[in-house]
Amino acid sequence: MNDHAPLLPPSADAETRRAAVYLVMSQIPPGKVVSYGELAAMAGLGRAARWVGRLMSQLPDDTTLPWHRVIAAGGRLSLPAGTAAGHEQRVRLRAEGLTIVNDRVDMRRHGWHSTEHSG
């Protein structure tokens, strides 16, 4: 149907958009994950999926945002386990009860937009 139009106008200050991303990110419930594209669209950034990823990279180490709940589309973990962030992401996600298999998680089960119609 209609695409998720940008909630924020392009005139919004960069800081405002950033806040939108942080806000949506903080809204991600535990045990669930969202893709960069979804997060970007939710924040009103449109298709700035990649930009969202970079934004996380800029996040401070003491950030309280659940950046580890943000993964690639389809529930794929883009962060390699060889990296500190990648390793921590897996550790945190597993701590939430997620089942990571082959760097992938069941988006239909842990995805924020879970199609969990059976419970």
Partner DNA sequence: AATGAGGCAAAAC
Partner DNA sequence: CGTTTTGCCTCAT
Residues 6+ apart with CB under 8 A from 73: 35, 36, 37, 49
Taking the complex as a whole, the smallest distance from the CB of residue 34 to DNA amounts, in Å, to 9
Q: Is 112 in the site for DNA (CB under 7 A)?
A: no
CB-wise, 50 or 94, nearer to DNA? 50
x-or-dash string of contact with DNA, 41-80, rule CB under 7 A: ----xxxxxxx-xx-xx-x-------x--xxxxx-x-xx-
- Contact with DNA (CB under 7 A) among 24, 25, 33, 36: 36
Number of other CB atoms surrounding residue 91 within 10 Å: 12
> Within a 13 Å sphere around the CA of 27, how many CA atoms are in the beta-carbon half?
12
